[in-house]
Structure 1
Amino acid sequence: MPMGVPAASPAGRWLIAGTVLGSGVAFLDSTVVNVALPAMARDLDTGLGGQQWVLDGYLLTLSALILPGGAVGDRYGRRRIFVIGLVVFAAASMACGLAPTSGWLIAARIVQGIGAAAVVPGSLALIDAGINESDRGRAIGLWAGMSGATSALGPFVGGWLVDAASWRWVFFLGVPFALGAVWIAVRHIPESRDTTVTGRLDIAGAAAITVGLTGVIYALIEGPARGWTATVVVAVVAGVGALVVFVVCERRADAPLLPLGLFRSWQFTGANLTTLVVYAALGGALFLLALQLQQSMDYSAFEAGVATVPSTVIMLFGSPLSGRLAQFTGPRLPMTVGPFIAAGGLALMARIVPGAGYLDAVLPAVVLFGVGMTITVAPLTAAALGAVDAAHSGTASGVNNAVARVASLLAVAVLPVVAGIDAGPDQPLGQGFSTAMYIAAICCAVGGVIAAASIRSGARVSTHVQPSVGHACQPPEPATGPR
């Protein structure tokens, strides 16, 4: 099938269905976990550190391996790696749901991230390779829209499952869908690979970035909780050393995961710095907001999930308009204005404290935050893609996506520490929550400043569609956006 099939053909519909189902499982899983964290903490007797690891265990392997996941699929078969990723994800999901201890759950979440790192890039690559060029944009748009709808359902479904049954069903839910995607892929999706790939796979780079992020995140989470013991010190030294080794590996590799030459472009660097600070604010704030609503304000899991839905709905339906607007204005204006509006929403979240009402405190904050992120996310990766030639757009998008994941990974580990939050199971977060929201607001506003200084007003805006995954407030962006 070298030229691809029409999207409306039976083969095309099967291909889209399989990839939507597969990636949708990863998207749904990423948006249902936040609201289930307090219930997990109660059941498994763990505190804030354990809750951080439940999120960061998944983000750690996803962040480190999403670039090699796409590269492995290109070399050894996109369908093969997609299916393997789904099987790993399904098995890890079962292990998560059966977890008797927090350590078991964290380990299973780490394995889940490995599976997702194969599924997420593979799903879009299969469509890109399997659908003919004239239908490809429509097929990717359909895939992205359905993935966004799946993400939007996450807070509803997760909160309802926690309240009606158990947090364990948050993980069990994805297993049949993942296995269904495996069946479709094996029966109806043809294999494809990139026959032009040259050079050895950058295994050393993948290993170095995984060790580096693991060491640093371990120290950031465990250091404040356990003190700077010998283990923590060794972890941070090994982590920083491995990150240095990663840079050396990328300089020398024949086919580097992170081509450092891309960063010679100030616009590419600026777009990724903007991504780093904006997505750090997003990831850290949403993590703590879910805990604040339940542990400090006595919301049920379902109520906490529903509370943030306005942001998701605004982004889901507003992103197409934002993407079209960015094509006329260029990405600089929305990337400058959007983060400042989102920062205003984060600052308002500091008012979400015990005694505050939903209509006067929660709703205005999440709505303003959603408007700001809607303005920002559609042109964000467009600026990164506009800084490189078309031949490197896939790599540039992958790098931007990885930066977004690393930003959330770091924020979940760092923000509670900096804000002075150290809450046990079901304990309120205290004044530290408001402090954290102000920090996140400043971080987000810095993103607007960086964009104003680095993004060209007339930069090219790509029409290639990318999804966004990782948070309830991250539906697909029609122009582009971190996956």
Structure 2
Amino acid sequence: MAMPPKPPETRSPGQTSRPARRVLAPLALAQFICSYAGSNMNVMINDISKDLDTTVQGVQTVITVFLLTMAALMIPGGKLTDRYGRKRCFLAGLTVYGVGAALSALAPGLGVLALGYSILQGVGTALLIPPVYILTTLLFPDVTSRARAFGTVMALGGIGAAAGPLIGGLITSAIGWRAAFVFQAAVVALIIVLSRHVRDPLPPEPDRHFDIGGAVLSAVGLVLVVMGILAADDNGWLTAGLLALGALVLVWLLRWVRAKERSGREPLFSTSLFHDRTSNLGLVTQHAQWLMLMGVSFVVAAYLQVVRGYDAIETGAIFTAATLGILAASLAAERLVKRWPQRTLIVVGFGVTICGIGLLIAMASGSPSVWAFTPGLLLIGLGLGVMLTPSVNVVQSSFGEERQGEISGLSRSVSNLGSSLGTAIAGTILVADPAAGPYAVALGVLAFVGLGGLTAATMLPEQQPGA
């Protein structure tokens, strides 16, 4: 008598199969290296500017363009996963990223560094990050196991962003800033090897339409907005013109998408993604979180090097407090989501982060001691670690499997736009005159953004722990 086929996977809520757990290693490492790439440059500002005979503002622009490239291409990257498959896009992104890291390590000038780091690594990240979140969502179906999985991914992402200055500082001081890019290429090679365990749970759809016009409009609009902010300290009229033009292009994008929907053709993203109030509020919190994280990282790193005269390793060591805070809070994500509603965790996270920024301003700006930065950075790390995972979980869980490509791209685009704006806004204020006054003003702006995120978090619907 023939036995009935065995289900492909049986597990109780909160449990995951061994293959699914193995998949987490390359996915989490991928998030780590991309977050690391966005922050490790902050401690190499002086070394790169001297070696390549450029300015601090030139290096800031390269960093911001990297973050901006990710934000501008993340939505198209998410859509491409539906057409070509999640694993294929993941591996393609890793390859492009690795080539960019190798080119950056050999860069003879700022232009080649911008090509390798800002463009190639940015494009590679936009291709590989959406699959990380799509696969995590699909492989972990219930809230508790998904919280554990996203906790791991976000923990390594947060550690990459917070520990980037320390790791980059150690490598730069011991070998040189170019070795920091060799390190990235080596990690990418390791991820590719580990990716043999990754299996795409959904088949690709090679005949699926890709909205090239929408992708171009979204990228151009976002680029104009962020470049307008970067130009704020040079030319007010140029800033106003770029911002206005960027807004017009984004309005054009919205009209383009609606026209596509009315004609029955598939647009870059569906406007129905914005019809879910919970998801919208979650996206606002994600944007604010990454804006604060990358903004604080750039401002504090630039201040310590330019004003205090600290070298790369000293600057990186100071960020250890934030790294430990993010690590401790993110690894506790599973236990926290079982005990507390996700809204509560996000609200508490914003509150703690804002207090950390306030403490950083109060203590660090007036004290010559390096330890004056530790309490504020620790609170910032704890606050961000508490809310990074539930914010992602709120957004991803608002849509079914068929919408994961769209929402993952949108979610990562919003987060990376926050990262680029954090560096652009806070960096523009500080680079104008990186003394104690502008330093406090830049951090004050970040705290104000945190208040906006806190307001959005209080409007999220109440849910039972573990629901």
The TM-score with structure 2 as length reference comes to 0.82
Residue 116 of structure 1 corresponds to 125
**Contact 1:4/1:129 (8 A) holds in 2:** no
Residue 78 of structure 1 corresponds to 86
Please give the alpha-carbon distance, in whole angstroms, between the structure 2 residues aligned to 1:38 and 1:399: 34
Distance 1:95-1:460 versus aligned 2 partners, 3 A rule: farther
Question: What do residues 264-305 of structure 1 show as CA deviations (whole Å, max 9, x unaligned)?
Answer: 333333332233334323322221111111211222211211
Please give the alpha-carbon distance, in whole angstroms, between the structure 2 residues aligned to 1:60 and 1:215: 10
C-alpha RMSD of the superposition: 3.6
SS, match of residue 107 in structure 2: coil
Please give the alpha-carbon distance, in whole angstroms, between the structure 2 residues aligned to 1:392 and 1:97: 38
Shift of residue 307, structure 1, vs aligned partner: 0.9
**Is 1:379 the counterpart of 2:390 in the alignment?**
yes
Q: Please, which of 331, 336, 357 is the counterpart of residue 346 of structure 1?
A: 357
Residue 463 of structure 2 corresponds to 459
Distance 1:172-1:271 versus aligned 2 partners, 3 A rule: same
Distance 1:242-1:462 versus aligned 2 partners, 3 A rule: farther
**Is 1:159 the counterpart of 2:174 in the alignment?**
no
SS, match of residue 234 in structure 2: helix
Residue 287 of structure 1 corresponds to 298
One-letter code aligned to 1:88: V
Distance 1:392-1:14 versus aligned 2 partners, 3 A rule: closer
**Contact 1:281/1:440 (8 A) holds in 2:** yes
**Is 1:204 the counterpart of 2:213 in the alignment?**
yes
**Is 1:434 the counterpart of 2:443 in the alignment?**
no
Q: Please, which of 97, 111, 125 is the counterpart of residue 89 of structure 1?
A: 97
Distance 1:203-1:56 versus aligned 2 partners, 3 A rule: same
One-letter code aligned to 1:324: R
Residue 335 of structure 1 corresponds to 346
Please give the alpha-carbon distance, in whole angstroms, between the structure 2 residues aligned to 1:132 and 1:274: 23
Residue 250 of structure 1 corresponds to 257
Question: What do residues 337-357 of structure 1 show as CA deviations (whole Å, max 9, x unaligned)?
Answer: 321221111122224237521
Question: What do residues 11-31 of structure 1 show as CA deviations (whole Å, max 9, x unaligned)?
Answer: x78755554554443243234
One-letter code aligned to 2:419: S
Q: How does 1:411-430 map to 2 (within 5 A)?
A: 411-417=422-428, 419=429, 421-423=431-433, 428-430=434-436
One-letter code aligned to 1:441: A
Equivalent residues, number = 449
Residue 446 of structure 1 corresponds to 452
What residue ranges of structure 2 are gaps of 5+ in the alignment?
A: 1-6, 11-15
Q: How does 1:148-187 map to 2 (within 5 A)?
A: 153-182=163-192, 185=195
Residue 42 of structure 2 corresponds to 34
**Is 1:358 the counterpart of 2:370 in the alignment?**
yes
**Contact 2:155/2:385 (8 A) holds in 1:** no
Shift of residue 406, structure 1, vs aligned partner: 0.8
Residue 266 of structure 1 corresponds to 277
One-letter code aligned to 1:122: P
Q: How does 1:220-259 map to 2 (within 5 A)?
A: 220-225=229-234, 228=237, 235-251=242-258, 252-253=260-261, 254-259=265-270
SS, match of residue 332 in structure 2: helix
Please give the alpha-carbon distance, in whole angstroms, between the structure 1 residues aligned to 2:347 and 2:151: 26
Q: Please, which of 394, 403, 421 is the counterpart of residue 410 of structure 1?
A: 421
Distance 1:416-1:191 versus aligned 2 partners, 3 A rule: closer
Residue 215 of structure 1 corresponds to 224
Shift of residue 180, structure 1, vs aligned partner: 4.1
Distance 1:193-1:65 versus aligned 2 partners, 3 A rule: farther
**Is 1:67 the counterpart of 2:75 in the alignment?**
yes
Please give the alpha-carbon distance, in whole angstroms, between the structure 2 residues aligned to 1:61 and 1:4: 38
Residue 471 of structure 1 corresponds to none
**Contact 2:85/2:204 (8 A) holds in 1:** no
Residue 52 of structure 1 corresponds to 60
Question: What do residues 18-75 of structure 1 show as CA deviations (whole Å, max 9, x unaligned)?
Answer: 5455444324323422222232223234334323212211111111222221321231
Please give the alpha-carbon distance, in whole angstroms, between the structure 1 residues aligned to 2:235 and 2:103: 27
Distance 1:91-1:269 versus aligned 2 partners, 3 A rule: same
**Contact 2:130/2:408 (8 A) holds in 1:** no
SS, match of residue 357 in structure 2: helix
**Contact 1:7/1:132 (8 A) holds in 2:** no
Distance 1:431-1:45 versus aligned 2 partners, 3 A rule: farther
Distance 1:341-1:106 versus aligned 2 partners, 3 A rule: same
One-letter code aligned to 1:303: E
Please give the alpha-carbon distance, in whole angstroms, between the structure 1 residues aligned to 2:456 and 2:135: 35
Shift of residue 392, structure 1, vs aligned partner: 4.4
Distance 1:141-1:120 versus aligned 2 partners, 3 A rule: same
Distance 1:391-1:322 versus aligned 2 partners, 3 A rule: same
Shift of residue 233, structure 1, vs aligned partner: 6.8
Residue 328 of structure 2 corresponds to 317
Please give the alpha-carbon distance, in whole angstroms, between the structure 2 residues aligned to 1:106 and 1:234: 24
Residue 3 of structure 2 corresponds to none
Shift of residue 114, structure 1, vs aligned partner: 0.2
Please give the alpha-carbon distance, in whole angstroms, between the structure 2 residues aligned to 1:266 and 1:139: 24
One-letter code aligned to 2:460: I
Distance 1:158-1:342 versus aligned 2 partners, 3 A rule: same
Distance 1:304-1:118 versus aligned 2 partners, 3 A rule: same
Please give the alpha-carbon distance, in whole angstroms, between the structure 2 residues aligned to 1:381 and 1:131: 14
SS, match of residue 432 in structure 2: coil
